[in-house]
Amino acid sequence: MIALGILASVAGIGFFCWLLFTLAVYALPFLTGVTVGLWAYDTGAGPIGGVLIGAFAAGVTWGAAQFIFTSVRSVWIRLAIALAFAAPAAVAGYHATLGLTKLTMPSEGWQIAFSVIGAVAVGATAWTRLVAMAPSGGIRARARTALIVNPGDGHVQTRRAAASSCLAKRSGSRAL
């Protein structure tokens, strides 16, 4: 029975660590939703109104950040958005790891050391997940597939198709 309890504890801690790493990227929208929801509640919206307004604010924060991150060309703006999402995730990772280490380690120095490692790991995971959502080439990839008009016959095709048809003409075969 004791072994089953130990296995259940390890499985529970593993589940919560997985949950932390999976949901870390949503720390900023969650923080925004809670803040706006509490503000709405304090101004008289009531508990249901506060929850609905907070959920709406969190959704708008997430959607706007995704839209801006995937459509902006500036690297600095994308860096600022990624940092805005990774910083609250790192703080959440620090406190979650600190809570786990307080249960298992008596030394306060080691608790803080492992908490900093946990913060870096969770922040890096949130950063990686956010960067992975962006299209591989961003605006530049879409610009490479711009439409061009062949001046000889007026045929409209994508730039990639024009390049492959030009290569096909050079080699003597016909492009699809």
Are 38 and 81 within one domain? Answer: yes
* Angstrom distance (rounded) from CA 176 to CA 164: 9
Are 98 and 167 within one domain? Answer: no
Are 104 and 167 within one domain? Answer: no
Burial of 37 (0-12, 13-18, 19+ CB in 10 A): buried
* Burial state string for 115-132 with b = 16 or more CB within 10 A and e = fewer than 16: beebbebbbebbbebbee
Query: pTM of this prediction?
Result: 0.64
Are 111 and 156 within one domain? Answer: no
Encode pLDDT of 71-124 as tens digits: 887 888 888 888 888 899 899 889 988 988 888 888 899 899 989 998 999 888
Encode pLDDT of 4-56 as tens digits: 877 887 788 788 888 888 888 888 899 899 999 999 999 999 999 999 999 99
Are 59 and 125 within one domain? Answer: yes
Which residues make beta-bridge pairs with 158? Answer: 147
Residues 6+ positions from 161 with CB-CB distance below 8 Å: 175
* Burial state string for 48-78 with b = 16 or more CB within 10 A and e = fewer than 16: eebeebbeebbeebbeebeeebeebeeeeeb
Domain enclosing residue 155, as ranges: 147-176
Are 87 and 123 within one domain? Answer: yes
- Number of domains the chain contains: 2
